Amino acid sequence: MTAWGAYGGQGAVGVWLVGARGSVGVTTIAGTAALCAGLVPPTGCVTARREFSSLELPRFDELVFGGHDIAPTGLLERAERLADEGVMPPGLPRLVRDGLLAAEEEVRPGVAGTGPGPGGRSGRPPGQEEAIRRLTDDILSFRRRLALERVVVVNVAPPGPAVPPRPAHASLSALRQALAAGERVLPDGALYACAALRADCSYVDLAPPPGGELPVLAELAVERGLPYAGGEGGSGGALLRSALDPVLAHRALDVRSWSGGRVRGGRRTAREQVSFEGFLGARMALRFSLQGCESALTAPLVLDLARLMALADRAGVRGPVPELSFFFGGPAPDAPDGREGPLEERYAALVDWAHGLSVPV
């Protein structure tokens, strides 16, 4: 058993959070410490269900946290603010103080503002290649110092702006040439993905930029022999869409638009509206709201994805993992008409995939 007062050691699995000091990151770290102390049940954790009980997933007390962030506010102070906002129970930050401080020791400065600019070149040091090397070294140092069996990198930072397609996004050879030439061709979020994969860590992106992930990242994951997954996960809108979109599709109703605000942070009310067309062109709409906290929905999924990706890494899974689409708000790979498949089918596929992994003894 890995004690929270003594990070690392045999059997420990690192969870490196990009955006560690954000609401999702802090809720994940504090929540895991609370789980290990027996203060709370694993509510919202899919992998705590009986369907996954026989799998060799890392235990919650075997997860060790670190990460990157550009925010100056420490994990403990951030947790106290979240408790004041009602995101976590009052007094919890004090009860899990040691876990938060231990994780704080493993947080390193992130990167910002290195993304593509006009013309694709940067006159501002450091370049993107240098930034990737520095991020990679941070992750490697984390794994080496704490003697971790493996590390899963999960991006829980807010999504960055959309980046126009570039030739360097299409292939690894083109990307390497562009980076070597000092071009700024990647969004900041992709720098973390490159660093994770170069450090031989599986990677999950819960904050892809608008328009989705870059094909070159999936190619890099295959080349490095590592599992890779990404999509919008955990938000209230994603949760509701995953349930409602298949229903509307099965009823052959033509969805025209789905709009709503993406909320992160404290307790808020998020409003969503789906407009669709019925028989004889009748225009209709569903309006609903979700009152609560986005990070409380996302944090248990971070734990699920970290545990499953650690298992997939042990089993030698390479490249994108479509079975993890259950956790994301986007359409399942190869779904007809780009729609999401029925949620129960996606869950069954996830369970079958997890049980079918062959893990070396």
- Return the pLDDT at 79: 97
Stated pTM of the model: 0.86
* Domain membership flag for residue 8: no
Residue 183 shares a structural domain with residue 107: yes
Q: Tell me the C-alpha distance between 60 and 11, whole Å.
A: 12
Q: Which CATH number do you get for residue 322?
A: 3.40.50.720
Residue 208 shares a structural domain with residue 330: yes
Residue 18 shares a structural domain with residue 61: yes
Amino acid at 242: S
Q: With 90 as the cut, is the pLDDT of residue 309 above it?
A: yes
Domain boundary among the residues 293, 312, 332 is at: 293
Residue 93 shares a structural domain with residue 223: yes
Residue 313 shares a structural domain with residue 265: no
**DSSP letter string over 135-165?**
HHHHHHHHHHHTT-SEEEEEE-SPP------
Q: Where are the alpha helices (DSSP H) in the chain?
A: 23-36, 75-84, 92-95, 97-104, 128-145, 172-180, 188-198, 215-224, 236-250, 294-314, 343-356
Q: Tell me the C-alpha distance between 355 and 218, whole Å.
A: 24
Chain-centre distance of CA 191, in angstroms? Answer: 15
* Domain membership flag for residue 361: no
Q: Tell me the C-alpha distance between 60 and 35, whole Å.
A: 7
- Return the pLDDT at 9: 62
Work out the average pLDDT over 220-244. Answer: 78
Q: With 50 as the cut, is the pLDDT of residue 290 above it?
A: yes
pLDDT band at 315 (very low <50, low <70, confident <90, very high): very high
* Domain membership flag for residue 80: yes
* Domain membership flag for residue 215: yes
Give the range among 50-59, 96-105, 117-126 with minimum mean pLDDT.
117-126
Residue 19 shares a structural domain with residue 134: yes
pLDDT digits over 161-195, tens only? 877 889 999 899 999 999 999 999 999 899 999 99
- Return the pLDDT at 258: 75
pLDDT higher at 94 or 331:
94
- Return the pLDDT at 100: 97
Residue 137 shares a structural domain with residue 272: no
pLDDT digits over 339-357, tens only? 456 677 888 999 999 999 9
Domain boundary among the residues 271, 293, 315 is at: 293
Work out the average pLDDT over 311-320. Answer: 95
Work out the average pLDDT over 319-329. Answer: 87
* Domain membership flag for residue 249: yes
Domain range for residue 282? Answer: 236-293
Q: Residue 289 pairs with which residues in a beta bridge?
A: 271
- Return the pLDDT at 6: 55
Q: Which CATH number do you get for residue 257?
A: 3.30.360.10
Residue 301 shares a structural domain with residue 184: yes
* Domain membership flag for residue 6: no
Structural domains counted in the chain: 2
- Return the pLDDT at 231: 78
pLDDT digits over 251-262, tens only? 888 888 877 655
Amino acid at 251: R
* Domain membership flag for residue 280: yes
Residue 122 shares a structural domain with residue 268: no
Residue 58 shares a structural domain with residue 160: yes
Q: With 60 as the cut, is the pLDDT of residue 359 above it?
A: yes
Per DSSP bridges, beta strands 107-109 and 63-69 are parallel
pLDDT band at 250 (very low <50, low <70, confident <90, very high): confident
Using CA atoms, how far residue 98 sits from 30, 51, 66, 92, in Å, is 10, 32, 14, 11
Q: Residues 6 or more apart from 298 whose CB is under 8 A from it?
A: 24, 27, 28, 156, 206, 233, 234, 235
Q: Tell me the C-alpha distance between 58 and 247, whole Å.
A: 35
The string over 191-220, giving b where at least 16 C-beta atoms fall within 10 Å of a residue's C-beta and e elsewhere, is bbbbbbbbbbbbbbbbbbbeeebbebbbbb
Q: Residues 6 or more apart from 336 whose CB is under 8 A from it?
A: none
Residue 172 shares a structural domain with residue 208: yes
Q: With 60 as the cut, is the pLDDT of residue 55 above it?
A: yes
Residue 333 shares a structural domain with residue 280: no
Domain boundary among the residues 248, 271, 293 is at: 293
